[in-house]
Structure 1
Amino acid sequence: MDFKHVSVLLNESVEYLKCKSEGIYVDCTLGGAGHSEKIIKNLKAGGKLIGIDQDQAAIEAATKKLAKYDVDFELVRDNYQNLTSILDQLNIDKVDGFLFDLGISSYQLDTPERGFSYKYDAPLDMRMDQRKDTTAADLVNNLSADRLTEIIRKYGEEKWASRIAKFIVKFREEQSITKTNQLVKVIKAAIPAGARRSGPHPARRTFQALRIAVNNELDIIETALNDAVSRLKPKGRICVITFHSLEDRIVKHTFKDLSTKCTCPPNFPVCACDTKQKVKVITKNPVTPSEREIEDNFRARSAKLRVAERK
């Protein structure tokens, strides 16, 4: 299956990067290389693009897509949580811009055997990096009801989390849950019929929660953003696209902390906290997709773009 992914807020995010023809830019979530290709079109000799993705399929697809451009680029199979070590290994000190497109790619969702989607009957996997050991099946078959409840409630914002966890534990007493359709049936059985008649697919929130837990998606965002800002040149920009409130909240608060000038009480005559403003937030309110983009790509409906600039 070809790596197909429609990049969301493509024009807006790259425009906010303000690419310099000889600049160095890092696409921390390479995916289908849509954003990377848009960036590389703005570069000339002397410019450089670095693409990072933990999915080997993304690396292979991006290599083919970007090979036709006569611009220096380097693709690294890794997690953006290791951004500092990646740049160190490439002997790059400072860069002109970072782009993060958080969440899952359409390719991963639409490839049944990856086990991300509740729409297909497939192994319950959900690993973005298939070199990792822990799958979603490992979580649902080994974690306690309390821990499953915590994951489903925290990462899926699912009000039936406790009930779903109890049904999972009861089901696995008879047989292991190894397939996506098994988990979907358990979730449907756990959620009362009346609650299933409206709203999104009853399994959507639980699948999201397990995916986030398997890939440790939320816990790495704040550190990665801080690491990125520390490697930005003055006036360099960082653009972050999120797809649900949990991600967006982290990005919003991190940018707010990084843009704080002083944390001392107002009555202090002299600053004693030594807090220095690191960035200026460019987007007072997040940029969202146009109605046309949402019509063309329904998965874009919840996307939000936030941008900050290095002081």
Structure 2
Amino acid sequence: MSAAAPRHIPVLGREAVAMLGLRDGGLYVDATFGAGGYSRAILDAADTRVIGIDRDRSAIAGGFDLVERSNGRLTLVENRFSNLAEVCAAQGAGAVDGVVMDVGVSSMQIDEAGRGFSFRLDGPLDMRMGHDGPTAADIVATASEADLASIIYIFGEERHSRAVARAIAASRHEAPITTTRALAGIVSKVVRSKPGDIHPATRTFQGLRIFVNEELDELHLALAAAERVLKPGGRLVVVSFHSLEDRIVKNFFNERAGSGGGSRHLPEIARSAPAFRILTRRPVIAQDAEVRANPRARSAKLRAAERTDAPALAAAALPAWPSLAAVMRGG
């Protein structure tokens, strides 16, 4: 199968697959199928079965050839990875041996101008990973100036978020902002950069993309779902690409492993039995050779943990940041 299949090497792919501890007969979930790099490696490494999930219909369609070559060992499902527990149940999988996630936008999506993810390629201001819900253009047209500033500050970590929001609000009164080039031009007028800095629109585009796709909410929910479906001894491996994602993963593992105790000045409180054992005390990062071959690997961090036999803990409430539904209804 592997000789004829098109090759896609995911960032930290070798390390991620090794962390899964693959075994013959095991069932694994590739929660962010993308171009199929993890799924292909898992299928090649052992006599395994894989459930691949992606919210992007084009990614699922692109994986049909791999499904055919897998001789029934790969099943692809178009869905959000936050729904992985329901996906597994629908596939008759009560519990699985491993889950791998590569969080964030894929290089395929960035490189396709029509998807509207990149300020370097002119295209419609879309940014949706799936094919439903409001676009980035809808958010830019509908959100209040205050909401825009919050979105760009919280999810884009842009310290000039108020100036950017003010410029967007002023520009949309003149004409609709419907293309990536138009938005990048507006942002570039208020966010200055020096030679060698990132593009002025980088953080604004990141913030809108994360918000449009509810990426951080999705990650919170997906981690909790993985906890519910993993067998004792099953492993969860997550590769993230920026500090917001990595912080969520790190905190989740620490909470579920019982790490980071309370204060010595306060009485002890009863703790639930740890649901995970952390395998990566420090995140795994890409080696120099991989970074040279793929600059995107420079920011990647891999964290992994192994499920214990303790019951899954209750999912924590989502953070109180701007929600897509509330912003779209003006609330």
TM-score bracket for the superposition, by shorter chain length? over 0.9
Matched position secondary structure for 2:211: helix
Partner residue of 1:77?
78
Partner residue of 2:173?
173
**Contact map agreement 1:243 1:302 (CA 8 A) in 2:** yes
> What CA distance in whole angstroms lies between the structure 2 residues aligned with 1:151 and 1:265?
34
Matched position secondary structure for 2:77: strand
Does 2:211 match 1:208?
no
Distance 1:4 1:171, change over 3 A: farther
Which amino acid letter does the alignment assign opposite residue 111 of structure 2?
A: D
Partner residue of 1:294?
291
Does 2:251 match 1:253?
yes
Flag structure 1 segments of 5+ consecutive residues without an equivalent: none
> What CA distance in whole angstroms lies between the structure 1 residues aligned with 2:260 and 2:13?
35
Among 194, 217, 220, which residue is 1:219 paired with? 217
Distance 1:58 1:4, change over 3 A: farther
Q: CA deviation at 1:80?
A: 0.7
Partner residue of 1:154?
154
Question: How high is the sequence identity, in percent, across the aligned residues?
Answer: 39
Which amino acid letter does the alignment assign opposite residue 102 of structure 1?
A: V
Which amino acid letter does the alignment assign opposite residue 179 of structure 1?
A: T
> What CA distance in whole angstroms lies between the structure 2 residues aligned with 1:267 and 1:134?
48
Partner residue of 2:106?
105
**Contact map agreement 1:5 1:107 (CA 8 A) in 2:** no
Distance 1:199 1:56, change over 3 A: same
**Contact map agreement 2:67 2:73 (CA 8 A) in 1:** no
Matched position secondary structure for 1:251: helix
Which amino acid letter does the alignment assign opposite residue 270 of structure 2?
A: C
Deviation readout 1:163-212 (Å, 9 max, x if unpaired): 000000000001000011100110011124xx454510111111111000
**Contact map agreement 1:262 1:275 (CA 8 A) in 2:** no
Matched position secondary structure for 1:173: helix
Does 2:243 match 1:242?
no
Partner residue of 1:136?
136
> What CA distance in whole angstroms lies between the structure 2 residues aligned with 1:12 and 1:174?
50
Partner residue of 2:12?
9
TM-score w.r.t. the length of structure 2 is 0.87
Partner residue of 1:279?
276
TM-score w.r.t. the length of structure 1 is 0.92
Among 16, 20, 25, which residue is 1:22 paired with? 25
Instruction: State the number of aligned residues.
Output: 303
**Contact map agreement 1:43 1:71 (CA 8 A) in 2:** no
**Contact map agreement 1:124 1:136 (CA 8 A) in 2:** yes
> What CA distance in whole angstroms lies between the structure 1 residues aligned with 2:123 and 2:262?
54
Q: CA deviation at 1:67?
A: 2.2
Deviation readout 1:100-146 (Å, 9 max, x if unpaired): 0000111100000000000111100000001x120000011111111
Deviation readout 1:69-114 (Å, 9 max, x if unpaired): 3352210000011112111111211100000000011110000000
Matched position secondary structure for 2:174: coil
> What CA distance in whole angstroms lies between the structure 1 residues aligned with 2:162 and 2:30?
38
Distance 1:247 1:264, change over 3 A: closer
**Contact map agreement 2:7 2:37 (CA 8 A) in 1:** no
Partner residue of 1:92?
93
Q: CA deviation at 1:159?
A: 1.0
> What CA distance in whole angstroms lies between the structure 1 residues aligned with 2:264 and 2:97?
35
What value does the CA root-mean-square deviation take over the aligned residues?
A: 2.0
> What CA distance in whole angstroms lies between the structure 2 residues aligned with 1:115 and 1:267?
52
Q: CA deviation at 1:293?
A: 0.2
> What CA distance in whole angstroms lies between the structure 1 residues aligned with 2:46 and 2:281?
28
> What CA distance in whole angstroms lies between the structure 1 residues aligned with 2:269 and 2:248?
27
Matched position secondary structure for 1:301: helix
**Contact map agreement 1:264 1:273 (CA 8 A) in 2:** no
Q: CA deviation at 1:244?
A: 0.1
Which amino acid letter does the alignment assign opposite residue 22 of structure 1?
A: G
Flag structure 2 segments of 5+ consecutive residues without an equivalent: 1-5, 309-331
